[in-house]
Amino acid sequence: EVQLVESGGGLVQIGGSLRLSCAASGFTFSTSDMNWVRQAPGKGREWVSRVRSTGGSTLYADPVKGRFTNSRDNAENMVYLQMNNLNPEDTAVYYCAKSFEGKGSNWYTPLMDYWGKGTLVTVSS
């Protein structure tokens, strides 16, 4: 059974930092690209970042470029999102999601087949 479990969310002040973690199990983690997706209150889901299976490449949405860093540890089956210089617009539930590895899915436009339950990040003044 595939499991993705996020942790590390919480309340942080404007300009602060948080590090989210995602523990993965039930699939071959080292061959899977992994994503972070967020959903702000009252809004739809927004893709945030992707890390290649090897950890050698990353992509970021424009609103988080230069502030967030996506990384992974394939020995521990973990994905991390380091978030710096947080602002109120970053308030959201953050989800870890696995990229689908089959037809129709690719590095730049992946389908995502498994999701965690999310962790809430609240940025407050």
Could you report the per-residue pLDDT of 88-114, keeping only the tens digit for each?
999 999 999 999 988 888 888 889 999
Q: What is the reported pLDDT for 101?
A: 86
**Nearest to residue 110, comparing CAs of 27, 28, 53?**
53
Instruction: Give helix then strand counts, H and E, for the chain.
Output: 0, 11
For residues 118 and 103, the model is more confident at 118
Strand 119-124 versus strand 10-13 pairing type: parallel
Strand order in the sheet with 18-25: 3-7, 18-25, 78-83, 68-73
